[in-house]
Amino acid sequence: MPESILLKWTRDGGVHDLTAYCRAGGYAAARRVATGELPPESVIDLLVQSGLRGKGGAGFPTGQKWKFIPRSAPIKYVVVNADEGEPGTFKDRTLLEGCPHLLIEGIIIAAVTVGARKAYVYLRREFHRARRLLEQAVAQARAAGFVGERIFGGEHTVEIVVHTGAGAYIAGEESALLESLEGRRALPRLRPPFPAQAGLYQQPTLVNNVETLCHVPAILTLGPERYRELGPPALFSISGHVTRPGVYELPLGTPLRAMIFEHAGGLRPGRRVQAVFPGGSSSMLLTADQLDVPMDYDSLRAVGSMLGSAAVIVIDDSADIVEVIARVVEFYRDESCGKCTPCREGTVWITQVFDRLLGGRGRPADLDLLEGIARGMTGTCFCPLGESVPPSLVASLRHFRHAYERHIARAGAGVAAPPAAGAAHGH
Amino acid sequence: MSVPPAAAARADRRPLSEAARQEIRQLAARYEHRQSALLPALFVAQAEYGWLPPEALEGVAQTLDLPLAEVVSVASFYHLFYLAPVGRHVVQVCTNVSCMLAGCGAVVARLRERLGVGPGSTTPDGRFTWRTAECLAACDEAPVVLVDEDRWPRVQPEAVDDLLARYP
């Protein structure tokens, strides 16, 4: 296992106490930034040199994003996207539960650098343990003078407010998150303007994911060259049909095969890989002959998929891909905010076709129908949620057509398919 | 969600308490705009009534000086606001992909059998409301069940009885 800069804080139950975190070098980077030893321009330069890209899914260069926040604006905000909910992703929760001070240090550095006096953490409501630990850590940091007025004895004020959502996957999309934080339905906003110009309360707002901010203290401490030598490191959530599911800190570009077989313990005896989501349920499904792909932004894009939130979901040959895709579409149907027609109607329509297929009433024409609906949703949805559906649906139709045809053949023979494992679903 | 008679009978007509209003006003002070406190305020009201009856929604609207329609619109958007009574304990079983691959279907079947009602329903004694949930971001612990604020990892169907027994 390579040297760890993030997960070292979460091992053996994690580091929750401020004293222990400081003793291990924590808050040293924040202190340098807050006291002016490391000026904002230098922080941004270091981030740019590090090559850090946003870990929430979009992969936008972080230094660039920080640079976009206008210097001169009088009121600015930092908003932390801690609404992790992409199926297969659990790295942010692992960090929050393992070492909330790491996030707080990242927030302080971000706020001072962009000149924000207030930061909001938009935390998933279901993260009850993370909320308790984070609130406790913020209180510790405030008592130590690291959060609040004149932090670290310098001239900066940074307030941190922990805010919880109320159960809506779409609130993880950054503009919908801002709507939700303003107390409204989490509907995505039309862009531009981007949050860097007009975000929370129409003020310039830096929105960063939990993991992204957790990389920042290490980049400042190690320096960008050393950080890049480490991979650069990234957190991968590996789940599904592997014997050791978990969060792994590995260099970007680690081959998918090594992740599954060396790190996550491989599959159960006698099982073979059937398919893999390399970057969460919205990334295009890969097949067993694509396992040598390096897990980085460009390599995955080159094979038509994406790194996304780096959530690897492994599906072995015991699963019915049709059921898996049906479940994924159901998720997006239930979580669609309803704002735009292709997503609202398309997800429902696709679900109806899957209900037919899995219910033993599928028709040969249904496969073309699915293709057609997917095509109609591609590039037409208001936000990434609806756009998440077509890639895997289309990939499954291309690579696992026989699985669909099996269901249709059963319909022709008058035999109903057995109920799907995840079929007992509803709110 | 269906409204069990026992739970519905518990709903009373009292207005939102002064203590809850005070808490909501304090929450609003954390934000530049008071509407930002709407989600947290709805949780305060929900904690007081167990769900969000009309009195709770009206109380939140009055305290934050927001239109009732806006409060109702927001409350109805999010999964974790209950616009109908729920049981003493809310059980959420994750059925998303990783939990599905780990066999959550058997856990769902077991819950249905033990509780005697389908997902989205409340047991006749008002003890449990159970439902399926979307990814709880704990796929390393699949299949995952959330009971109230407790997350239970790697729940096997045969462990469901013991789990339920912990929540009288």
Complete DSSP assignment for A278-331: SSSTTSPPEEGGGTT-BSSHHHHHHTT---TT-EEEEEETTS-HHHHHHHHHHH
Is B134 in Cβ contact with A324 (below 8 Å)?
no
Phi, psi angles (nearest 5°) of residue A6: -110, -55
pTM of the model: 0.94
Is A166 in Cβ contact with B78 (below 8 Å)?
yes
Strand bridging mode A118-123 / A77-82: parallel
Strand bridging mode B128-133 / B121-122: antiparallel
Q: Within 10 Å of residue B46's Cβ, how many Cβ atoms?
A: 21
Pick B39's closest partner by Cβ from A166, A245, A323.
A166
Is B40 in Cβ contact with A421 (below 8 Å)?
no
Question: At a CB cut-off of 8 Å and minimum separation 6, what does B7 contact?
Answer: B50, B85, B86, B87, B122, B126
Q: Within 10 Å of residue B162's Cβ, how many Cβ atoms?
A: 9
Cβ-count burial of A157 within 10 angstroms (0-12 exposed, 13-18 middle, 19+ buried)?
A: middle
| Cβ-contact A208, B67 below 8 angstroms | no
Q: Note whether B104 contacts A: Cβ–Cβ < 8 A.
A: yes
Q: Note whether B47 contacts A: Cβ–Cβ < 8 A.
A: no
> What letter does residue A261 receive in the DSSP assignment?
I
Q: Which residue type does A317 have? A: D
Render each residue's pLDDT in chain A as its tens digit; 427 residues: 557 999 999 999 999 999 999 999 999 999 999 999 999 999 999 999 999 999 999 999 999 999 999 999 999 999 999 999 999 999 999 999 999 999 999 999 999 999 999 999 999 999 999 999 999 999 999 999 999 999 999 999 999 999 999 999 999 999 999 999 999 999 999 999 999 999 999 999 999 999 999 999 999 999 999 999 999 999 999 999 999 999 999 999 999 999 999 999 999 999 999 999 999 999 999 999 999 999 999 999 999 999 999 999 999 999 999 999 999 999 999 999 999 999 999 999 999 999 999 999 999 999 999 999 999 999 999 999 999 999 999 999 999 999 999 999 988 776 655 554 444 443 3
Is A327 in Cβ contact with B139 (below 8 Å)?
no
Which of B31, B97, B113, B131 to mutate against chain A (most A CBs within 10 Å)? B97
How far A366 CA sits from the closest chain B CA (Å)?
23
